[in-house]
Each structure stands twice: as structure tokens, then as C-alpha cells.
Structure 1
Amino acid sequence: MSAIMSAEGGAKPLVPAISEEDREALIQAVRALEGPSFVGRLSSLAGRPVELLGRALPQPASEAVSRTTEAALKRALRYALRTIPKGSVDPETRVHRMLAALSGAMGGALGISAVLLELPISTTIMLRAIARIAQSEGEDLDDPETALACIQVFALGGRSGSEHLHESGYFAVRAALARSVTRALHQVAERGIIDESTSAVVRLLSQIGSRFGMVVSQKVAAQAVPVLGALGGAAVNTAFTDHFQTLAHGHFTVRRLERIYGKGTVRLAYNQIRASEGL
């Protein structure tokens, strides 16, 4: 039965109830998307707070991180999604985590300047991992909208940390990027391909890069300061990759449920779960 009668006698669509299995998946997604930041993960790894990470980078270093981050996103978007077999739904998260750890170890062994050289490699590896996760949740990697949804995951890691539900969090980031995503999709439709040099895609990557750069700055600082120096580049890069894989699992779980139940229903349930969890 697709409709019920309202009090006025008109047809009123039923709001689908989320199944217990899907509600549990949504709970895990909320915890992933609203849970500890990258700095929080590093604090746990190091056994002590490291909230100041990334705030004390010298201006030249911060500018270098900003430039390198956007370049890394462009390179990742250009290469990562084109090399994934379309028939496989195995996210291969362990493989990508190991590759990122190896990349980080190389960067750590060669010093901080090498970390910036290594970033495009690790970003491409992470985008491949994100795309595999998307694929495992039923996304079509041939769809440009899916490709842009994959790259958006990098914006989810730079949350503001606001305690106010409507000022921060997953849906706030999606809303902030929505107009740029729409414009980028229009340009993709006109050209038939995702061209990272078009104005709309450049603007979207700039928005994402500004948030991703916050986490990259924390990563660069983590590989330089004594409190985490003993962990090495491999450990920091593993945490870095795991952080974004966790976000990707949450993001594409939400998108899968939106395809089943509708965006409004999922967002209402998401906000209820977030409030009940105190996130």
C-alpha cells in the first residue's frame, strides 16, 4: 500500500520506516561521521592530548600545505577512479591502508619536505580506497556524481568541532558544498567527462582542499613534533588513511540509505541518533 487517507480524505504518502538492520548501519555511520577528529585519533594513538597540532606551523609551511593539498586532490581525481575494476565490490581497505603506511614511512624517513612530495601519492591511494568503499555500498563509479561524492569525503575530515547541531557536522558540510557540486555536475554534463581544470570543478576542489588542508597540516605537524615522532610516518599515515576510510564508510552508508528511504527520512533519523548519542 503506497498511500493512506489523510483526515481531509486526500491521499498522503507513507513515510517508510527504517529497518532495524539499516538503523544499526545508520547508527554506525553517525558515530563515524560525528566521532573523533584526526587530532583525536592521534591523541589516542600517542596516549596524550595533541589539540595544538597544526596551529603552530610557520606561515611558509602553511602556504606550502595549502598549495600541495589542492594539487594532490586534482591529481587524485585525475587518476584514482580510472584504475579501479568496475566488477569488484571488495573495498580492499587493508590493502590501501598498507600502501598508505608504506608511503608515510618513506615520507617520514626523508623528512618533512618529503611529506609534501608524498601527499599526492597518499591522497590518490586514499581516493582509491574511498571509491572502493563507495562501490561496496552500491555506487556506480561511472556516474560523475559518485566521483564527486568520493572527493567530498576529504572535506568531512575538517570539521569545525562546534557543539551546535546545526552549525557543524556531516550534513552542514554537504550543504556548504551543494551549490559547487551542482555547478560541477552541470559542467561535467556539458563536456561528458570530469575535467579537473574546469572552473566549477576547480572551485569545488578549492572548497574541499581548504577543509582537507586543516587535517593535512595536523598530519605534517604530527610527523615533525617530538610527541609523535616515535610513532613514525607509517603510523601517522595509517591513522590518516583510517580516518578517511571511516568517514567514507559513514558517508556512503548514508547515501545508500537515502536511495532506499529518501533524504528527508534519513536526515531526520540521523539527527535523532546524533542527539541521542550526544555527538
Structure 2
Amino acid sequence: MSISDNINDYNSLKTAVKLLESPSITAKISNIISFPIEGAVKKLPKSVTKKINGAVQVALYKAADVALWSIDNQPHKSASTKLHKLYAATSGALGGAFGFTSLFIELPISTTIMMRAVADVARSEGFDLNDLSTKVACIEVFAIGGNNSKDDTTETGYYLSRSFMTESIRQLSKELAEMAAKQGANKFSPTQTGKWLAKIIEKVASRFGVVITNKFAAQVVPVIGALSGATLNTLFTHFYQDIARGHFIIKRLENQYGYEQVKEEYQKILNKS
């Protein structure tokens, strides 16, 4: 059966294309502050950029565990999008109130909130949060649209953004899914699971780190004093909720129709837009 023969699934795919091909988070920040964010990034000391990249990787590690653990595993339960944006705004306001250095303290908190929002969306699309492949997919969201070279579009499109991971990492994800189906994710040793996730998080952090660097740079631009940490965190959470919605719609449809068919229909819809 073709996905185009099912009106509900086809409309879901159209929604996913719209969400996933929207302007990048960097472009959204630049539009709000009316200031080219790239210029602000160049003014950041290299030591700060290096510290941000290290903090991002640590934040993703912590967020992946805490966020999924803190949500009840009830597939198809509606996502609490407004609640997570409220949490994010509160976190950003507290970080902004204590200046730039406090952002390194606030980062793990805001990343966990965003990861929790992503997991919430995954659950609402019917995914099992106890499945290790779902956890991997949640982490993957933070690499989509993250390393853009244009101010008005997502860098390469959704499927090319997904393909940034090396063949070994993509094969790893496949192996995880196959092993989970055979023996259950709960039988993986903590050491084995941690090693697999470490490889994935390292790849994702290299792209998400670019986004967070842009966010930090925006918060120290003098012309945006009125733009609070709360506003930026709300914007980020909303963005990744949308990316997660599109991503897990695609993953759900790929499970049903196959990767190639969904990708082909995705491209047809994109070309028509």
C-alpha cells in the first residue's frame, strides 16, 4: 500500500515536511534580534566556545537519562507542549538573571527540559520510551537543522541532516533495534549501552554545540538587552518540539511504509512547496 493512498498518513507526512523544512533556529534568533548571529559568534573568545562544546556534550548525556526517566511511558498520550515551554522560560529567566557565566549552570537544566519535551512528543506519536531506539531517536532530534550555512533555510534538508552520522553510527542504531527486538533493551549491560550512546551523543553534540554557541552569542549582543533568557529558551523549546513532531511522524511512517517510500514521497511534497 502506498502512503499516498492513505489520506491521514499523507497529511501527516505533509505536516512533517512543513515542520522539518522550516527556518533553522539560528535564523529564527537572527530574525528576532535583527542582527546577524554569525558576527556575534565570531566575537566570542575561543576559550568560551571550547567550554560551550564540552558543556553541551555533558548536558546531552545527563538529559538523555533524566528526561526519559521522568516521563511515564504511556504511548499515544498527548504531549504537554505548553508546560515544557513554561519550564524552559523559567529556567532561562533564572539563568539570564545571573549573567553569562550562569548559562553553563543553566545549560544542563534547559537541555533536560528540551529533551523531556522531545520525549513527550515521541510518546504522543506512539513510541515506547523504554525502547533504546526511541532514546537514540530523541537524541538525534538535536542534530537536525543544527549546523546551518544559510540564514533563511535549514542547512541541507531533513534527510541530509539525518545522514550526517557516519555509516558505523547508522549501523549501530540498526543493530540496537534488532537486538532490542530479540532480547529486550533491558538486557543490555549498562556499560554496553553507555558505550553505544556515547558514540551517538558525541556526533550529535558536535552539531547541537553550534546551535548553543549561537544562543550564547545572542545573549551577549548589546543590542538585544530586552531579549531575555526566558524568551530564547521558549523559542528553543518550541523549535525542538516542532522538529521532534516532524521527526517522529517520519519515523512512525517509515516503520509502516519503509524508509525509501517515505523519503520519496517527502521529496515530492517538498518539491511542490
- Asked if 2 retains the 8 angstrom alpha-carbon contact of 1:54 and 1:214, the reply is no
User: Across the two proteins, how many residue pairs are aligned to each other?
Assistant: 261
Match of 2:163 among 175, 178, 183: 175
Residue 130 of structure 2 is matched in structure 1 by 142
Q: CA shift at 1:204, angstroms?
A: 1.2
Q: CA shift at 1:222, angstroms?
A: 1.3
1:125 aligns with 2:113: yes
Equivalents in 2 of 1:201, 1:82: separation in Å? 16
Residue 102 of structure 1 is matched in structure 2 by 90
Q: CA distance change for structure 1 residues 50 and 24 in 2, over 3 Å: closer, same or farther?
A: farther
TM-score, normalised on structure 1?
0.85
1:242 aligns with 2:229: no
In structure 2, give the amino acid aligned to 1:256. Answer: R
Equivalents in 2 of 1:50, 1:219: separation in Å? 12
Q: CA distance change for structure 1 residues 212 and 105 in 2, over 3 Å: closer, same or farther?
A: same
Q: CA shift at 1:274, angstroms?
A: 1.6
Q: How does 1:141-220 map to 2 (within 5 A)?
A: 141-161=129-149, 168-177=156-165, 179-183=168-172, 186=175, 189=179, 192=188, 198-220=194-216
Residue 36 of structure 2 is matched in structure 1 by 50
1:257 aligns with 2:257: no
Q: CA shift at 1:31, angstroms?
A: 1.9
Q: CA shift at 1:29, angstroms?
A: 1.1
Residue 61 of structure 1 is matched in structure 2 by 48
TM-score, normalised on structure 2?
0.86
Residue 76 of structure 1 is matched in structure 2 by 63
Percentage identity across aligned positions?
36
- Asked if 1 retains the 8 angstrom alpha-carbon contact of 2:132 and 2:176, the reply is no
Q: CA shift at 1:83, angstroms?
A: 1.5
Residue 9 of structure 1 is matched in structure 2 by none
Equivalents in 2 of 1:201, 1:179: separation in Å? 13
Residue 182 of structure 2 is matched in structure 1 by none
Structure 1 consecutive aligned stretches of length 4 or more whose deviation exceeds 6 Å: none
Residues 175-222 of structure 1: CA deviation (Å, up to 9, x unaligned) = 232631532675795961565984332221111000000110011111
Equivalents in 2 of 1:262, 1:213: separation in Å? 31
Residue 104 of structure 2 is matched in structure 1 by 116
Residues 147-193 of structure 1: CA deviation (Å, up to 9, x unaligned) = 10001000013143479xxx922112322326315326757959615
Secondary structure at the counterpart of residue 57 of structure 1: coil
Worse overlay, 118-127 or 169-178: 169-178
Residue 6 of structure 1 is matched in structure 2 by none
Residues 217-246 of structure 1: CA deviation (Å, up to 9, x unaligned) = 011111111232211110011111111111
Q: CA shift at 1:38, angstroms?
A: 1.0
The structure with the larger Rg is 1
Q: CA distance change for structure 1 residues 254 and 16 in 2, over 3 Å: closer, same or farther?
A: closer
Structure with the higher fraction of residues in helix conformation: 2
State the structure with bigger RCO (CA 8 A, min sep 6), 1 or 2. Answer: 2
Equivalents in 1 of 2:107, 2:205: separation in Å? 13
Equivalents in 2 of 1:216, 1:208: separation in Å? 12
- Asked if 1 retains the 8 angstrom alpha-carbon contact of 2:88 and 2:234, the reply is yes
Q: CA distance change for structure 1 residues 274 and 161 in 2, over 3 Å: closer, same or farther?
A: farther
Worse overlay, 212-221 or 75-84: 75-84
Secondary structure at the counterpart of residue 72 of structure 2: coil
Equivalents in 2 of 1:18, 1:150: separation in Å? 29
Q: CA shift at 1:16, angstroms?
A: 4.9
In structure 1, give the amino acid aligned to 2:66. Answer: Y
In structure 2, give the amino acid aligned to 1:254. Answer: I
Match of 1:226 among 222, 225, 231: 222
- Asked if 1 retains the 8 angstrom alpha-carbon contact of 2:3 and 2:9, the reply is no
Q: CA distance change for structure 1 residues 26 and 117 in 2, over 3 Å: closer, same or farther?
A: same
